[in-house]
Structures are given as structure tokens and as C-alpha cells.
Amino acid sequence: MTLESDTLRKRALFETWMAEHEQFSTPLTAQGEPIHRKAVLSRIATLMERQGAPEYVYVLTEGRSDKAIPAYVGKARSPVSRWNQHLTGLAKGNGSYLRWRTRLLHEGQDSVQFDLQLHLLIPGLFETRPWVEGPSWPEAREREAHWASQT
């Protein structure tokens, strides 16, 4: 299998997986717009109310060239609280959030470079990961704890 065909296969797996969970997503903000904290946290709370789970896996995607590009994957018992922390970190741009600012926001501004979408999933809702390589869920949790401790 060539690198290009493997990349296309993985892209197809990811897109299929995300489409199957589209009902559990909400826009964070549109390209060129700032992130409105209160509106974002309200939309996340609405998704949580609809699902009523004890914990969630969330996937932040960027809309680039008609493709959803995963920007961040995390896990939280309270995505509203966690995203409040993420948005505070993004606004300050310290530590690991400096990379978030560089990747997501226009330089020197608070407006986003791409459409941002958040997918809020219940871990038991899906059996497999959409990717073949990469961290297991325990490794992903460990990474999330590390990133959280850096803020």
C-alpha cells in the first residue's frame, strides 16, 4: 500500500466515523469570527443534557478545504468546565495554548482561521477508533491530564 492510498483510506475511515456521530456535534465558531465563550459553553451544555453521560470524549475539528481536520481530542467528566479552561487558556495563549492560538486564531487577533466544530461523544457509544495507529484511550487520558496540568 502506498503512502497516498493509506492516507486516503485513513481519511475515509475518519470521515465515516465522524459522520456516524454528527448528531453529537456543535459549531464552536465560524471562520473569521471570534469565539463567544458564553454561546459555546451553552451549546456544549445542551449536548451534555441530550446525552446525560458520566464522561465524554470530545474532538475539536477545523473545517479546511471541505474536510474536517482533527485539531484536538480530549476526555472530561464535565466538558463545560473543561472547555471553560480551554477557552481561558486560548485567550491567554500561555504554555500549550500558545500552539492553539497559532493554529486556530489569526495572528494578533481573536478571530478563528477556520470553521471550528466540537464533537461530544460518550466513550461507550463507539467500539473502535477511526484510526489504526495512535494512542489508546488510556494513553489519550494520560495526555489530556498532562496538558491540563500545564495550564
SS (H, E, C) 110-138: CEECCEEEEEEECHHHCCCCCCCCCCCHH
* Residue 10, pLDDT score: 84
CA distance 79 to 69: 20
pTM of the model: 0.76
In a structure prediction context, what are the per-residue pLDDT tens digits for the chain, which is 151 residues long? Answer: 787 888 888 888 888 878 877 888 999 999 999 999 999 999 999 999 988 889 998 999 999 888 888 899 999 999 999 999 999 999 999 898 999 999 999 988 899 999 999 999 887 655 555 555 555 656 666 766 666 666 5
* Residue 143, pLDDT score: 67
* Residue 144, pLDDT score: 66
CA distance 121 to 129: 12
* Residue 52, pLDDT score: 87
